[in-house]
């Protein structure tokens, strides 16, 4: 059996997404910047996709800009807001994705901003009192906090964070890459300046994402070139990717509640089965259903003797999972998230992440294999 439990790293394409992308490849190959008929056709389907995304998020199409993915979108929000909105101080957490963390740290090292890290507890919850304290001491601050942590799944109440940011006139950016397509984001009620998403996290294609820029914020491009994306991002648009992104998000919104219930049941079932079969197992992050991303379950296992070999052993058994963020899986360094939480370094940690395509039978197979590995390497 081959089991794919690494959906937080990337999700398989929905067949309906593949269909519309192939159609676009075959019928709309023109350059959308060209003024002839073929170019206009390509431009038209991009704008239709933009309206689809904006409509689902309850934003204006003029506030949606397509990018190469979440990393570029996060960089754009941080670098350009600091450069163009008079920001001298930024707040983030030690648990952020490296697209945010490394960008902030680099700007701080250059002396462009003063950088503070808001406290988080052992489950990854943001200390809002400390956030208030930091904001009260510094004018014109950028706050960048993700909606759900990509490794442990802990959710942050971004509505509450947005209210605090409003109170102190701070600029608020949230990396919503892990929750886009899994939770509804209503930008008509969420007071946020920048929000980012990536198609491959919700059964769309890799290499395409988007940034929402609140219309009140006037920033310059991160990438210069042509006049694409209304002069906000140079480079010929990824037409097929953009079409696929919009279709994938549309499908997610159509069946979001039924998929949420199904996937939450899978997560709960796996947690219960792991506790029954491996009593010494522990769970990382906030695992309360209302405070945890329903697609992610991060566990620490008692088989300390095989800490360096666990993922390899699972792979040999036909099980794809992750030890942390797949975006840095080639690194020899451990998870910066688990290190920040003070998780036991001796215990191997595994992130299992689920999608609508997974089954309980797959969970039974994985739990059985994990139990065998732990009994063999105590």
pLDDT band at 347 (very low <50, low <70, confident <90, very high): confident
pLDDT in tens, 46-93: 999 999 999 999 999 999 999 999 999 999 999 999 999 999 999 999
DSSP calls for 334-351? --HHHHHHT--TTS-EEE
Active-site residue, 252 included: no
Question: Would you say residue 186 has pLDDT above 50?
Answer: yes
Q: 275-280: long-range contacts at Cβ-Cβ below 8 A with a sequence spacing of 24 or more?
A: 277/367, 277/368, 277/370, 277/371, 278/302, 278/367, 278/370, 278/371, 278/374
Question: Would you say residue 254 has pLDDT above 80?
Answer: yes
pLDDT in tens, 198-211: 999 999 999 999 99
Q: For 181, left (φ over 0), alpha (ψ -120 to 50), or beta? A: left
pLDDT band at 192 (very low <50, low <70, confident <90, very high): very high
Contact 287, 267 (CB under 8 A): no
Can you tell me the mean pLDDT for 99-124? 97
User: From the CA atom positions of the chain, what is the Rg in Å?
Assistant: 21
Distance of CA 22 to the CA centre of its chain: 26
Alpha helices in the chain (DSSP H): 15-27, 37-57, 70-84, 98-109, 128-137, 158-167, 228-231, 239-254, 256-277, 310-316, 336-341, 360-376
For the chain, the average pLDDT equals 95
Question: Rounded to the nearest 5°, which phi and psi values hold at 11?
Answer: -110, 150
- How far apart CA 153 and CA 3 sit, in angstroms, is 20
Residue 332: what pLDDT?
52
DSSP state of 154: B
Residue 331: what pLDDT?
47
- How far apart CA 360 and CA 262 sit, in angstroms, is 10
Question: Would you say residue 329 has pLDDT above 60?
Answer: no
- How far apart CA 167 and CA 24 sit, in angstroms, is 45
Domains of the chain, each with CATH number or no CATH: 3-12+255-376 (3.90.1150.10), 15-254 (3.40.640.10)
pLDDT in tens, 10-32: 999 999 999 999 999 999 999 99
Can you tell me the mean pLDDT for 90-112? 98
Active-site annotation holder among 165, 252, 303, 327: 327
Contact 159, 129 (CB under 8 A): no
Question: Would you say residue 187 has pLDDT above 50?
Answer: yes
pLDDT band at 303 (very low <50, low <70, confident <90, very high): confident
């Amino acid at each position: 059996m081959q089991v794919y439990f690494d959906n937080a790293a990337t999700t398989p394409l929905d067949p309906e997404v593949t269909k519309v992308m192939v159609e676009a490849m075959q019928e709309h190959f023109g350059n959308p910047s060209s003024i002839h008929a073929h170019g206009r056709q390509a431009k038209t389907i991009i704008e239709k996709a933009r309206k689809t995304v904006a409509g689902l998020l309850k934003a204006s199409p003029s506030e949606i800009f397509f990018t190469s993915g979440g990393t570029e979108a996060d960089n754009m929000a941080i670098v350009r807001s600091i450069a163009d909105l008079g920001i001298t101080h930024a707040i983030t957490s030690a648990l952020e994705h490296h697209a945010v963390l490394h960008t902030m740290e680099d700007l701080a090292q250059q002396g462009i901003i003063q950088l503070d890290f808001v406290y988080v507890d052992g489950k990854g919850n943001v200390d809002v009192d400390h956030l208030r304290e930091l904001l009260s001491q510094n004018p014109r601050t950028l706050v960048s906090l993700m909606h759900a942590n990509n490794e442990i799944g802990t959710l942050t109440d971004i509505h509450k964070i947005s209210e605090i940011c409003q109170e102190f006139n701070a600029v608020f950016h949230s990396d919503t890459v892990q929750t886009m397509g899994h939770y509804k984001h209503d930008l008509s009620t969420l007071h946020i300046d920048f929000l980012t998403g990536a198609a491959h996290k919700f059964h769309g294609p890799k290499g395409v994402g988007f940034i929402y820029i609140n219309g009140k914020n006037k920033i310059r491009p991160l990438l210069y070139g042509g006049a694409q994306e209304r002069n906000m991002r140079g480079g010929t648009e990824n037409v097929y990717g953009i079409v696929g992104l919009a279709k994938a998000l549309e499908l997610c919104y159509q069946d979001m509640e039924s998929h949420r219930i199904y996937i939450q049941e899978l997560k709960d079932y796996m947690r219960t089965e792991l506790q029954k079969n491996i009593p010494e197992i522990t769970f990382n992050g906030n695992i309360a259903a209302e405070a945890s991303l329903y697609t992610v379950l991060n566990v620490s296992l008692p088989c300390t003797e095989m800490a360096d070999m666990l993922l390899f052993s699972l792979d040999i058994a036909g099980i794809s999972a992750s030890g942390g963020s797949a975006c840095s899986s080639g690194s020899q360094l451990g998870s910066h998230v688990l290190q920040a939480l003070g998780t036991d370094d001796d215990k191997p940690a595994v992130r299992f992440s689920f999608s609508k395509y997974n089954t309980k039978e797959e969970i039974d197979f994985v739990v059985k294999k994990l139990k065998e590995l732990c009994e063999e390497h105590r």
